[in-house]
Chains A and B, each alone.
Chain A
Amino acid sequence: MTNLKRPRRRAEVILLTAALCALLASCREAPKAPPPGAEQAAAPAAQTVTAPRTLFYPEADDMLLAPCPVVVPATGSPQQDMAALIQRYLAGPPGDGQVQPFLEHSTLRALFLVGSEAVVDLTGPVKSGGGSATETARVYGIVQTLTYNFPDVKSVRILVDGQEVDTLLGHLDLSRSLPPEPRLVAGSAGAAGDAQ
């Protein structure tokens, strides 16, 4: 029985890995062609500590969230690192495979932690432009990004201009803290549109 299953499992693992690679490849930042060795040479002088992180942006067609690897500054303070990550998120996806759910000039006003809850205070045109797909991508893009990169964060509450809001675009309930929703992540079990 085990021997019969093994090739199938291997095939599943290969397929899954290939799918993940494809997802990651689709949003990788375009190389800016620095001279060979320049990054290594510049790093000690800048004294900047960085950490690899994963951002989750919606894919253009199905609007499911797909991972995009990035490198962002790391300070050692979870709160500051989370803020840096969300600021990077609001700048938009690095590649072409995903779309930016936020409108230009949407920015992070503040981010703080309350136990296992991250409170993200946004400002700018975050309450305009789009339908439920856009709203879901905005909210769960941030929820998924924070909970994935910082496992101690179990849920995220979104504020706008320092105030609690019922909803961004008239659909999602933002009056409470939101846990991640794996079904909205591409390639996860039970994601909409996946072959069962």
Chain B
Amino acid sequence: MDVTGPQGTFSLKDRFRGGQTGFCAEDLAAALKGSLGKDPVSHYPVLTLRGKRTLISTASALASVDGKIVRLQESPAVIEGCLWLPTEFLTAVLPQILGGPVVVRGAEAKAPLAEGKVPPKGEAKPEPREAQAPKGASVSVEAEVTSDSVRLTLTGKDAVLADVAQGTKEIVVTLAQGGLTGRLQDVGAGIVDGIAFNQGGRTLKAALGPGFKRLESLKLRGPDRLVLLFKGEGQRVNPPPPENVPAAPETADAGAVPGGPPKKTAAFDTVVLDPGHGGSDTGATTDGGLQEKDLTLILAQKTAAMLEKAGLKVILTRSTDTQVPLVQRTAIANYNRADLFLSIHLNSSPAASARGTETYFLSRNATDLWSNQLAAKENTEGAASGATADSGLNLVLWEMAQTSYIVESSVLAETIQQEFNTLLGTADRGVRQAPFVVLEGAQMPAVLVEVAFLSNPDESKRLTDSAFQDQVAQGLTQSILAFKARYDKPQTPPPAS
């Protein structure tokens, strides 16, 4: 394709992705004598041209030119070592860099979508540009009510792009593309007094109740969705009508089931167990040939059987000796809307004397640092684009999802430690915190338990004993049921006033 702009004309080699025309960012950088690097905070690619810095999201169809957010119709992606950008990048982003119009010939250039500006609080809500969205691009809407929040989830086939405008009495969500589908149950009153949208329409309105305090938004993947969390003092709910809950998929492969995520009741009923390591990643090993990956799978399977007997749906992130990427493990839990994520590991130390059980939840120190870096960055970008700092559209990285569940996760970790102390009599190494990859993306209470030390000769021997494995599974089952009992309690609707 030929690109003509204020700097003259240059050529870019066409690159295709799923039938879409695009080009490599590397080629554009070379043509304009710029550079392509990485943002130190988000790790997103940064294209620097003519002294202007463009942050490119590979997780969604967004780019940020010197802090000003521009939406694209197609998500950039890394393909065969090339950072693929859609052709519309040249007409939507490049003019802002070069300071003049850009014309593309020899390729189909698409018109850019609206910029992602969010009106400040109290401003008039934006009107949708189209009454109906194009066919086949639906975004399903679901609402879930907890004791202190209302969670609204918009799930699309691709990244859900939306303007979120917060007024004093309502929050208006306007989709950039796609039509809204779904049927919401009565969400009660208090934080959100009602949610309304037209089937196939692009605008959704949530009426704010007196208990509303703040709005948090998360962009998540696997599947792509936008989660709006209305936080407040308390939501009054009516008991939900009986509902047939579809059976949970049996294996991790369930994450790819077409037709969207399984339906979910408000009750605690789904647990994802994650047997650590697998495939070529053996985890810790012993001179005698024991491998952590084999033992964690046995422990997870035994625990799953006990939990299922107790009436819970259990999903394993792997049920065979296969390698599952760490981020995919939590994605499986998120997709299946699990109420709890438990990663099972065995420890190893250079000191053979090290022994006992320890349970980890995500480190707040690390997440605080990342949050601060991200917040500072977003505030800077927000100021540059004219958006307010407390606007509803926060581009929160999905990796930060677990921060909302840290308190519950710490309770779960304590519960497991107590159960192991009383049931197994293993040495209590206590609850610890660290930034473990497998916990970061979980949208539910999530912990990683190191059952015992494979490097300790005594514990290593016990771990191969079937009776001890049963005891471990029993300990984990009791912990989860104890946590479920605690979790279920606040779900009980208050007496009608």
Contacts and interface: CB of A to CB of B under 8 A. Distances in A.
A131 B353 contact: no
Given A131-B283, A134-B349, A170-B326, A179 B429 contact: no
Given A131-B450, A177-B369, A60 B455 contact: no
Interface in A131-187: 131-134, 136-137, 140, 155, 166-167, 170-173, 175-184
Contacts of B283: 131, 170
A99 interface: yes
Contact of A193 (B292, B326, B429, B453): B429
A100 B358 contact: no
A99 B431 CA distance: 22
Interface in B429-474: 429-438, 440, 448, 450, 453-455
A125 interface: no
Given A172-B436, A193-B428, A101 B326 contact: no
Nearest to B358: A192
B241 to A, nearest CB: 42
A179 B369 CA distance: 7
Contact of A133 (B277, B347, B366): B347
A181 B365 contact: yes
Contacts of A99: 349-351
A2 B7 CA distance: 76
A192 B428 CA distance: 9
A171 B120 CA distance: 41
Interface residues of B, number: 44
B432 A192 contact: yes
B354 interface: yes
Interface in B281-310: 281, 283-284, 292
Most buried by A among B277, B326, B430, B432: B432
A101 B432 CA distance: 18
B434 A136 contact: yes
B40 interface: yes
B430 A192 contact: yes
B350 A134 contact: yes
Contact of B448 (A117, A155, A171): A171
Contact of B284 (A130, A136, A194): A130
The secondary structure that dominates the A interface is: loop
A62 B40 CA distance: 34
Given A172-B436, A181-B365, A130 B348 contact: yes
Contact of A167 (B348, B370, B433, B437): B437
A131 B459 CA distance: 14
Nearest to A171: B436
A193 B283 CA distance: 25
B221 interface: no
Interface centre among B292, B351, B428 (most CB of A within 10 A): B351
Contacts of B365: 179-182
A175 to B, nearest CB: 6
B336 to A, nearest CB: 23
B349 A179 contact: no
Nearest to A193: B430
A37 B454 CA distance: 49
B369 A155 contact: yes
Given A130-B348, A179-B365, A173 B440 contact: yes
A131 B435 contact: no
B347 A166 contact: no
**Which of A101, A114, A173: most chain B CB closer than 10 A?**
A173
A11 to B, nearest CB: 24
B43 interface: yes
A63 interface: yes
A65 B283 CA distance: 23
A60 B453 CA distance: 13
Interface of A: 58, 60-63, 99-101, 114, 117, 130-134, 136-137, 140, 155, 166-167, 170-173, 175-184, 192-194
Given A58-B351, A173-B436, A179-B366, 13 more contacts: A61-B351, A63-B354, A101-B350, A114-B40, A131-B283, A131-B348, A133-B349, A134-B349, A166-B437, A171-B437, A172-B436, A175-B43, A177-B40
Report, nearest first, the 8 A-B pairs whose CB atoms are least far apart: A131-B348, A192-B430, A60-B351, A131-B284, A131-B347, A173-B437, A193-B430, A192-B432
